[in-house]
Amino acid sequence: MKTKSLIALLAALCAGVLPAQAQGETVELKIDTPPYTRISGMSSFSIPPQFFEREPLPHPVIQVPEGTTNLARGRPVTSSDKAPAEGEISYITDGDKDGDEGFDVELAPGVQWVQIDLGKSAELYAVAIWHFHRWRPRAYRSVVVQISNDAGFKKDVTTVFNNDYENKAGLGIGRDKVYIETNRGKLIPVNAVKGRYVRLYSAGNTVNGANHYVEVEVFGKP
């Protein structure tokens, strides 16, 4: 490893930065945040406090290799719900993160998933999710994010986020916390996991039973 890269890595570790990989030049991952959408009203978050992140936390600082990009943009999406109540599944990777009406897809209540095909296996460093960020404050239940090279997610599956403290999705009890949706979305570090497919689960939200997505971004090196 070059001296410059080694010094940068040590400095990042001392600062608590999450490195995407240990070799090569890296840069801090920056994601575009959509405009703030006014949220009004009150919500009852019937979630045990030990599993709930009541105040939105800053995004983690993630170091990624130079040339890392959003591999999900424009890629095909499939879903467990074949007939969404609102919107189109393709909205999830169309690049529009706006919180206004007409930018999200609504899936049926219960445990549902969406899956993005990146086209080929790649080394991944982060996943960013925007479920819904308008109207009443809400949090989505049983959010699980998995990566695999198997389209059926039957083998070689890596779970990179899981806040399903009730195991509703049947994928195991998660240690991550349920979080409130905002226009900033949720940025999830991925430790250079290789995969072609990204699958995201949810099981309704604290306002109603529906499952929503505005946008999902998957950052990796093409």
* Token pair in block for residue 211: 């499952």
Residue 50 is assigned to a structural domain of this protein: yes
Residue 9 is assigned to a structural domain of this protein: no
SS3 4: helix
Number of domains in the chain: 1
Non-local CB neighbours of 3 within 8 Å, separated by 6+ positions: none
Q: What is each CA distance from 85 to 107, 118, 156, in whole angstroms?
A: 6, 25, 32
Full domain range(s) for residue 113: 27-221
* Token pair in block for residue 215: 């946008």
CA–CA separation, 78 vs 99, rounded Å?
22
Task: Please give the pLDDT value at position 7.
Answer: 44
Residue 4 is assigned to a structural domain of this protein: no
Identify the H or E element spanning 52.
Answer: strand 52-53
Which CATH number fits the domain that encloses residue 217? 2.60.120.260
Mean pLDDT over residues 105-119, rounded? 98
Beta bridge pairs of residue 79: 114
Q: What is the pLDDT of residues 58-99, one digit of tens each?
A: 999 999 999 999 999 999 999 999 999 999 999 999 999 987
Task: Please give the pLDDT value at position 6.
Answer: 45
Q: What is the pLDDT of residues 118-175, one digit of tens each?
A: 999 999 999 999 999 887 889 999 999 999 999 999 999 999 999 999 999 999 999 9
